[in-house]
Structures are given as structure tokens and as C-alpha cells.
């Protein structure tokens, strides 16, 4: 069991970065080139874009945590943000730079030199494992959250916020696969060099029960599709997004026409006579919310908003009140009118 979870221990004691004289330093050149190439990949625009998008997700969570904190999809987004923060704490590039700096300046099969110990090299391998599995966790959270918010989007709820959130998660999901592959390739190429590093029992890092995986899986990317198309396809499959054609087919099946002349119960007449245009001011909305909240408690079947689920009604009220507190009455009125219009 320890072999599966020790990578997730952020309190691992880092072995001292000491060097030992060895007779053969030729293998160090290969290690230096691999690490240097990876660090160049980290400094690309993709890595910067990943950090900027991760920061955007954190801001979106902070802005909407009061509105969505009880929703399972939002909890998945919070777990995603936690994984992104842990990834930031990891700082793999810094550890690689320190280790690269301890390698000899001249590497040759015929020359001796100072080399870092195997424990320091194993610490780098464990940090690569942490980076790899954290990205795996990030993608799982993206798919879980997309499945939930995709359903809300199909119901025309919180469209502006959900659209931005799904776009940010799609970008994170795509960039995560690229970073995961770079990490897996570096780990797979560095692991065979492990036996070449000198062993110092005093500074032993890995316990006997800890076993490093022999290889990390590289994610297969669709070469014929662009990164954006591939990521959109992945999240769409997770959230089962309905296309326009599917919506048209569903509407044709569910369209049973409109009742023109039929005596209806009193409650139905009240519901059908309600017009969203009657909510012209913020005060109208306030009175409507008070009246409907009371009727929903006393007689749910006779209220105008009986088709709206309880958590949706609470969310609509919360957003309306938050916009008023933010001194945005026009936006509060527009959002609530649009919500009611789509539901009734």
C-alpha cells in the first residue's frame, strides 16, 4: 500500500543534496539533457496559460461559493482548485533546477567527478510521480464537474457563469494532458539511470517497502484534431452535451401543442395568466419572491413556480439578492426575469 500513496505525502523529508566522487560521469550528460529539455518545456506559453487559467478558476469559485456551495458539481470544482493549489506548492521545476545544478560541468566516460547521491535522484523521481498523479486528479475533477454543470447549462441556468467555468476547465483539462505526457516521458527516461548514481546508506531516502513504478502511462492524443477540439470533445462526452439537432428532435417529440379552449382548474389559470413582463421593477421582483416563497411553503401545487425545483428557486433568490447588495439592480432584475422566463 505504501508503494501507491507515498508520492502524495507532501511532508516527505528531502535528503541532503550532497555529491560523491565517481569514476564514470558519462551518464550524467544524458540526465542533464533530459532535465534541461523538460525545463524548457515548462517555460513555454502553455505552462503560463495553465497557471493563468488555474487562477481564473480560483476566482470563479470565490465569486460563486455562496451560490453553489451545496451543489455536488461545485464541490468537484473546489476539489479541482485544491489539486491546482497543491500542484503550485509542489514546484517541480525548482527541484529539477537544484538537482541539475549539482551535476558535473564536464561529463565523460573517462573522467571522474562529483555526482549527487541516489537518494537525491530518487527524490526527483518521487516528485515526478506527485506531479503526474496530481494532474490525473485534476482531469478527474474536470470531468466530474463538467457532467454536473453541463446539465445545468442545458436547463438554461446560470448560463454566463457556467459557460466561462466550462471553458476554463476545458483549457485546464487539455493543458493537463500535455504536462502529464511531458512528466511521464521524463520519468520513463530518467528511471533507467537510477542504478548509476552512488548509494549512501546514511542518506537513504526510500524505505524498503516503497516501490517506484517501472513506467508511467503516456496519454494518447488525437493528432488529427486540434487541442481545443479534443478537449471540447472530452468534456462534452462527460457532460453529455445535447447538440442543436438533438434539441430539435427532443422538442418535436415533446411538443404536444397548446391548449386553446379548455376549462382549466383555477390554479392553472393563475399560472398561465402570469406574464414575465409584469416584473418591470426590482420592487415587483421582491414582492413576487415574497409571495411565491409563502405559497410554495403552504400550497406547493398551486404556486406559479411549481415547475421550478427547490434548489433552483433558492439559487435564483440568492443571486438576485447578491446583485442588489453589489448595487447592480438592473443586472439583478434582468437575471431573475430571464430565469423565470426560461422556466415558466
Residue 60 has a pLDDT of 85
Residue 157 has a pLDDT of 65
Residue 313 has a pLDDT of 84
C-alpha of 123 from chain center: 27
Residue 221 has a pLDDT of 77
The helix (run of H) or strand (run of E) holding residue 22 is strand 19-22
Q: What is the mean pLDDT of the chain?
A: 79
pTM score above 0.85: no
pLDDT tens, position by position, 291-303 = 888 888 888 888 8
Backbone torsions φ then ψ of 10, nearest 5 degrees: -80, -5
Of the candidate ranges 45-54, 141-150, 216-225, 333-342, the one whose mean pLDDT is the lowest: 216-225
Q: Tell me the HSE value of 17 on the side-chain side, using a 13 A CA sphere.
A: 12
Contact indicator for 96, 15 with CB cutoff of 8 Å: no
In the predicted structure, residue 244 carries a pLDDT above the cut 60: no
Largest CA distance in the chain: 100
In the predicted structure, residue 278 carries a pLDDT above the cut 60: yes
Contact indicator for 53, 168 with CB cutoff of 8 Å: yes
In the predicted structure, residue 267 carries a pLDDT above the cut 50: no
pLDDT tens, position by position, 128-160 = 999 999 999 999 999 988 888 887 777 766 778
Q: Where are the alpha helices (DSSP H) in the chain?
A: 2-5, 26-42, 45-68, 72-90, 92-102, 118-154, 159-190, 227-239, 244-254, 266-273, 282-298, 310-325, 329-343
Three-state SS at 250: helix
266-300 exposure pattern, b = at least 16 Cβ within 10 A, e = fewer: eeeeebeeeeeeebeebeebeebbeebeebbeeee
In terms of pLDDT, which residue wins out, 251 or 121? 121
pLDDT tens, position by position, 64-94 = 777 676 777 788 888 999 999 988 888 899 9
Please, which pLDDT band fits residue 7 given cuts at 50, 70 and 90?
Answer: low
Contact indicator for 179, 47 with CB cutoff of 8 Å: yes
Residue 252 has a pLDDT of 53
pLDDT tens, position by position, 95-131 = 999 999 988 876 666 677 888 999 999 999 999 999 9
Cell 433558492, residue located: 314
**Mean local confidence (pLDDT), 51-67:** 84
Question: For residue 318, with 0-12 CB atoms within 10 Å meaning exposed, 13-18 middle and 19 or more buried, which class applies?
Answer: middle
In terms of pLDDT, which residue wins out, 341 or 249? 341
Residue 217 has a pLDDT of 93
Residue 64 has a pLDDT of 74
Residue 106 has a pLDDT of 67
Please, which pLDDT band fits residue 249 given cuts at 50, 70 and 90?
Answer: low
Residue 254 has a pLDDT of 45
Three-state SS at 25: coil
Please, which pLDDT band fits residue 255 given cuts at 50, 70 and 90?
Answer: very low
Backbone torsions φ then ψ of 263, nearest 5 degrees: -70, 125
DSSP 113: E
156-191 exposure pattern, b = at least 16 Cβ within 10 A, e = fewer: ebbeebbeebbbbbbbbbbbbbbbbbbbbbbbbbbb
Amino acid at each position: 500500500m505504501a508503494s501507491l500513496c507515498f508520492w502524495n505525502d507532501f511532508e516527505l523529508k528531502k535528503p541532503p543534496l550532497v555529491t560523491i566522487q565517481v569514476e564514470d560521469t558519462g551518464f550524467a550528460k544524458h540526465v542533464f539533457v533530459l532535465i534541461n529539455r523538460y525545463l524548457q518545456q515548462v517555460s513555454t506559453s502553455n505552462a503560463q496559460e495553465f497557471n493563468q487559467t488555474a487562477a481564473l478558476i480560483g476566482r470563479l469559485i470565490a465569486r460563486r461559493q455562496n451560490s453553489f456551495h451545496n451543489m455536488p458539481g461545485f464541490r468537484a470544482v473546489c476539489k479541482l482548485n485544491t489539486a491546482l493549489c497543491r500542484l503550485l506548492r509542489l514546484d517541480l521545476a525548482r527541484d529539477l533546477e537544484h538537482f541539475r545544478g549539482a551535476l558535473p560541468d564536464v561529463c565523460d566516460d573517462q573522467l571522474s567527478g562529483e555526482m549527487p547521491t541516489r537518494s537525491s535522484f530518487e527524490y526527483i523521481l518521487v516528485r515526478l510521480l506527485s506531479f503526474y498523479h496530481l494532474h490525473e486528479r485534476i482531469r478527474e475533477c474536470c470531468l466530474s464537474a463538467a457532467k454536473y454543470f453541463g446539465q445545468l447549462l442545458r436547463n438554461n441556468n446560470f448560463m454566463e457563469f457556467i459557460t466561462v467555468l466550462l471553458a476554463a476547465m476545458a483549457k485546464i483539462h487539455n493543458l493537463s494532458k500535455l504536462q502529464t505526457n511531458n512528466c511521464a516521458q521524463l520519468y520513463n527516461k530518467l528511471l533507467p539511470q537510477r542504478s548509476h548514481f552512488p548509494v549512501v546508506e546514511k542518506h537513504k531516502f526510500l524505505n524498503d517497502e516503497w516501490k517506484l513504478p517501472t513506467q508511467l502511462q503516456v496519454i494518447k492524443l488525437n493528432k488529427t484534431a486540434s487541442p481545443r477540439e479534443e478537449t471540447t470533445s472530452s468534456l462534452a462526452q462527460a457532460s453529455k452535451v445535447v447538440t442543436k439537432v438533438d434539441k430539435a428532435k427532443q422538442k418535436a417529440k415533446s411538443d404536444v401543442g397548446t391548449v386553446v379552449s379548455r376549462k382549466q382548474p383555477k390554479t392553472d389559470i393563475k399560472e398561465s395568466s402570469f406574464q414575465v413582463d409584469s416584473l418591470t421593477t426590482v420592487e415587483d421582483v421582491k414582492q413576487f419572491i415574497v409571495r411565491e416563497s409563502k405559497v410554495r411553503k403552504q400550497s406547493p401545487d398551486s404556486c406559479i413556480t411549481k415547475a421550478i425545483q427547490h434548489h433552483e428557486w433558492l439559487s435564483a433568490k440568492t443571486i438576485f439578492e447578491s446583485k442588489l447588495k453589489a448595487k447592480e439592480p438592473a443586472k439583478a432584475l434582468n437575471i431573475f426575469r430571464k430565469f423565470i422566463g426560461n422556466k415558466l
